[in-house]
Amino acid sequence: MSEFQQRYRVVEKLESGGMAEVFRAESEGLQGFRKQVAIKRVLPHLSEKTRFIQMFLDEARLSAHLNHSNCVQVFDIGVGDDAYFIVMEFVDGSNLKQIMENLRKEERSLPIASAALIVHELCKGLAYAHELRDRRGKPLHIVHRDMSPPNVLITKYGEVKIVDFGLAKATSQLEKSEPGIIKGKFSYLAPEAAMGQEVDARTDIFSVGIMLWELLAGKRLFLGESDFQTVQLVQRTDIPSISSINPLVPPRLEEMVNRALARDPVARYQSAREFAQELTTFLYEHGRSVDLFDIARLVHDTMRDNSKMRPRQSSRIDRLIEEALFEFTSLNQASGGRPNSPDATPIGRDSRLSVESSLSMQFASGRESDDVSASIVAQGVAGAASAIELLRPGNLSLLEGESSGRTTAQIARTGALIALAAAGAAIMVGWLLNLLP
């Protein structure tokens, strides 16, 4: 069955945070089949936390059951070199945080109807998740727990999608002493979550209410000078009148915002479905034409502005090295998906052949007359990959036992020099032969 093993080739790094990195990648199959996906990789220091990884895997498997147009779909879970991955639908667009920041930077206000439509779409996705049942009809009681602008993705066509259902629960249950894990998300907590009480679907509704308030006001609702102050603001739940900030907000919509942001969960909308239905009624009564094309224009404006600030792309040789080394095995094919399975193929193992093969094929396809030159570059980079492999702790300990007194540090220095020399030679040859940009 090895011919069916799925492989993912990284195209570019999209973003990184305190918990994970996100990459755009291609899923490669038979007969040249390719599909763009997004890969979220847990950062190495979290991969060592068994409890966190177990929750991550359990919740990621749960999120794989979500199949709705307003929820980002999860395709696979993977592991490589003790790093864990979640493979999901690639959303070509922007997140709501970027859109809101772009509007503030340009001192533009979001039309009332557009704000209501975005939140309406969010409520549709939440209603599906909150009401989802298993095969026996038992409610799954899914609560996102981390509804915030970065977790709302909007495509170039105006489709609104919620991401990170699986990661949210694992995040909320991490040890409190863990730094940098949920920083920046306190602003979108519900009061009961900020006080450590039980949460349910109404917790997500409060978070969505915060986003609606901010979309209408053009400013943040709960933002202190520190995380502690922000949590205190959430706990007090003092909500400024939205119409005093934006006089264009109709009284009916202000009532809906205040209900979603009620401090007592009993006073809020009791379901995302109820909130969505009231937003539908408002949009009909408001009498302003709005559709997903209007939302799409916001995304295009944001992507255009972000592209101007995008850092220069790495060289071709950097991209090829990353693509060749960043491949991983699906947990479904790695000993039944057990964490830290000895049968799971780590990234970089036997990497010399994979790097050399990948580079030779890609360079040769671009310049058939430079086969020999491409081979030199490929072999140089492959040598660097082999040297890097020597630096792995397990390999260093093996080499140390066979080195007749040489220390691990000496071996490491030697391996590093080999890697630098091989990579430097490859880059120099590529530059002299006009193979590299």
Residue 382 within any structural domain of the chain: yes
DSSP structural state of residue 183:
T
- Cβ-contact 242, 256 below 8 angstroms: no
Residue 166 banded pLDDT, cuts 50, 70, 90: low
Residue 6 banded pLDDT, cuts 50, 70, 90: low
- What distance in Å separates the CA atoms of residue 248 and residue 6, rounded to the nearest whole number? 52
Provide mean pLDDT across the span 37-44.
85
- What distance in Å separates the CA atoms of residue 1 and residue 333, rounded to the nearest whole number? 9
Point out the catalytic residue in the list 76, 146, 164, 204.
Answer: 146
Q: What is the pTM of this model?
A: 0.70
Residue 391 within any structural domain of the chain: yes
- What distance in Å separates the CA atoms of residue 155 and residue 299, rounded to the nearest whole number? 7
In Å, what is the CA distance from 423 to each residue of 342, 347, 381?
30, 19, 5
Highest mean pLDDT out of 47-51, 213-217, 346-350, 404-408: 213-217
Using the predicted structure, report yes or no on whether residue 418 has a pLDDT greater than 80. Answer: no
Using the predicted structure, report yes or no on whether residue 328 has a pLDDT greater than 70. Answer: no
Provide mean pLDDT across the span 407-428.
54
Give 62 or 88, the one with higher predicted confidence. 88
Q: What percent of the chain has pLDDT over 90?
A: 37
Residue 358 within any structural domain of the chain: yes
DSSP structural state of residue 106:
T
- What distance in Å separates the CA atoms of residue 253 and residue 268, rounded to the nearest whole number? 14
Residue 59 within any structural domain of the chain: no
The encoded tokens of residue 44 equal 């190495």
- What distance in Å separates the CA atoms of residue 62 and residue 106, rounded to the nearest whole number? 40
Residues facing residue 134 across a β-bridge: none
Tell me the residue range of the domain where 427 lies: 348-432
Q: Which stretches does DSSP call E strand in 149-203?
A: 152-155, 160-162
For 242, phi and psi rounded to 5 degrees? -70, -30
Residue 41 banded pLDDT, cuts 50, 70, 90: confident
The DSSP element (H or E) to which 378 belongs, if any, is helix 371-390
DSSP structural state of residue 133:
B
| C-alpha dihedral (295, 301, 303, 304), degrees to nearest 10 | 160
**Number of domains into which the chain is organized:** 1
Residue 413 within any structural domain of the chain: yes
Alpha helices in 44-178 (DSSP H): 44-47, 50-63, 96-105, 112-131, 165-172
Q: What percent of the chain has pLDDT over 70?
A: 63
47: closest CA among 17, 74, 79, 15? 79
CB atoms within 10 A of CB 263: 16
Give 29 or 279, the one with higher predicted confidence. 279
Q: Is 264 a catalytic residue?
A: no
Using the predicted structure, report yes or no on whether residue 73 has a pLDDT greater than 60. Answer: yes
Using the predicted structure, report yes or no on whether residue 385 has a pLDDT greater than 90. Answer: no
127: closest CA among 60, 70, 58, 61? 70
- What distance in Å separates the CA atoms of residue 384 and residue 269, rounded to the nearest whole number? 59
Residue 215 within any structural domain of the chain: no
Using the predicted structure, report yes or no on whether residue 389 has a pLDDT greater than 80. Answer: no
- Cβ-contact 145, 54 below 8 angstroms: no
CB atoms within 10 A of CB 252: 12
Average pLDDT of the chain, as a whole number:
74
The DSSP element (H or E) to which 9 belongs, if any, is strand 7-16
Residue 322 within any structural domain of the chain: no
- What distance in Å separates the CA atoms of residue 405 and residue 15, rounded to the nearest whole number? 44
Distance of CA 321 to the CA centre of its chain: 22
Residue 58 banded pLDDT, cuts 50, 70, 90: confident
The encoded tokens of residue 312 equal 């220069």
Residue 387 within any structural domain of the chain: yes
Residues facing residue 95 across a β-bridge: 153
